[in-house]
Structure 1
């Protein structure tokens, strides 16, 4: 059903949503963004689904936005860039608002948009070998559309320590920043997630959904003004010459002019 995802639901109502571009470290293409948005809405409507586990195939959870997709934006007009910015924002919003509990099972890299996916999950379990980061500024970009969700999860003070530097950090720091709830070995990761799943299966489904809705209403979700501001910031950044220089330098395998 999906080109870039594997979605399977077991008889208990546990849905596993697997990002499935392993040869690209599950970097998010436009197709993957659309698939994630559609999957979130489908799972939200499915009364048989009790809880959703999101994970990545291959060596990484998600390496962020696909760089080929980013490079395409350099030659795009304003309308096309607006469309793509809304594509990301709509995907994150659909996952964040999903009425079912969303558990992220993270291994390998979770950087850029991959960290954004962590920040729209209700609980994140990470392998102790996982690597996190907001690496956009190194490319002349910024963590714009994921920004409202990152700040909502970390808080402003914690976000400022990693938002601008493109510095990579480990699972222990991600836990201190409020992104990761529990760290375990890669071998024990699935088992730890299963313990969390079992807890939800003992709860009344509608009560869980209404509790999540209340959390979001009480401040767990960015408002429309924040989302619109993040899109405007991304569009402005695409017009800055640094962005073209940074992306070109990456593909040319040479340092950007500011490095």
Structure 2
């Protein structure tokens, strides 16, 4: 099977699969570009209500595809293009997605894997998953915008330990730092993800998109415009009417 990013759909739920299992789903340059394309497609699809991001096989993502690094890492301009266009292009497309994004994390979640997980809204992990960014062992730092994203998600002290001491943390630590929504035994992970996806997909899709937009604006310090323009919407009326009538809303 050819490696890359696979995009699958089942009803209103989409799944984005990091698909390079022979390399523990390490991200190649092509995969970063494909990840951006996948999220641009999802952002434009009004029928999608929730997205799951996972790795193929038993691991989430081992980091970047180091075999490619000699092709561009030793030239400053090429290196900048890689981080600012390929990597940040994909991560910013994930962050710009107005649909709730759930990460299913098992096995290793290193470097690029932590960055991708940090761009998700909710994160479920197996209790034996491992997290880190030991790139100091490879002789380079994390790019600035990637470091800001990871630090905001995992907490500054954990980010410093990952980057400055090459520490690798278990899922329990990451949950204690607020990075993980739930930690479960591996045999319960898929069922928990499916339950969460169905719950999110069954909620008001307009409200989810507006919440994503509000949270994004608040993080950037931008004003929240048209915050109450949803007032006359059919979805808003349906939610209130259903509650008053003591019935399940139909969104």
Q: TM-score if structure 1 supplies the norm length?
A: 0.80
Unmatched runs of 5 consecutive residues or more in structure 2: 223-251
CA displacement at 1:222 relative to structure 2 = 9.5
Counterpart residue number, 2:77? 79
CA deviation vs aligned residue, 1:171-222 (integer Å, no higher than 9, x gap): 0011122221110111110111112112212211111001011011111x59
CA displacement at 1:62 relative to structure 2 = 0.2
Contact 1:106 1:124 in 2 (8 A): yes
1:126 pairs with 2:125: yes
Contact 1:123 1:180 in 2 (8 A): yes
CA distance in structure 2 between the aligned counterparts of 1:25 and 1:160, rounded to whole angstroms: 25
Counterpart residue number, 2:49? 50
Counterpart residue number, 1:34? 33
CA displacement at 1:68 relative to structure 2 = 1.5
CA displacement at 1:153 relative to structure 2 = 1.1
Q: TM-score if structure 2 supplies the norm length?
A: 0.82
CA distance in structure 1 between the aligned counterparts of 2:156 and 2:149, rounded to whole angstroms: 11
Larger radius of gyration: 2
CA deviation vs aligned residue, 1:42-78 (integer Å, no higher than 9, x gap): 1011111110001001231001111022222244x33
Q: Aligned to 1:52, what secondary structure does the other structure show?
A: strand
CA distance in structure 2 between the aligned counterparts of 1:60 and 1:201, rounded to whole angstroms: 25
Superposed, 1:105-144 pairs within 5 Å as 105-144=104-143
Counterpart residue number, 1:23? 22
- In the alignment of these two chains, the number of paired residues is 219
Counterpart residue number, 1:180? 180
CA displacement at 1:101 relative to structure 2 = 0.5
Contact 1:3 1:31 in 2 (8 A): no
Task: List structure 1 segments (4+ residues) > 4 angstroms apart after TM superposition.
Answer: none
Contact 1:152 1:222 in 2 (8 A): no
Q: Aligned to 2:80, what secondary structure does the other structure show?
A: helix
Counterpart residue number, 1:9? 9
Contact 2:154 2:174 in 1 (8 A): no
Change (3 A) 1:17 1:222: farther
Higher relative contact order (CA 8 A, sep 6+): 1
1:209 pairs with 2:209: yes
Counterpart residue number, 2:99? 100
Contact 1:118 1:179 in 2 (8 A): no
Contact 1:3 1:35 in 2 (8 A): no
CA RMSD of aligned residues (A): 1.8
Contact 1:134 1:164 in 2 (8 A): no
CA distance in structure 2 between the aligned counterparts of 1:141 and 1:165, rounded to whole angstroms: 13
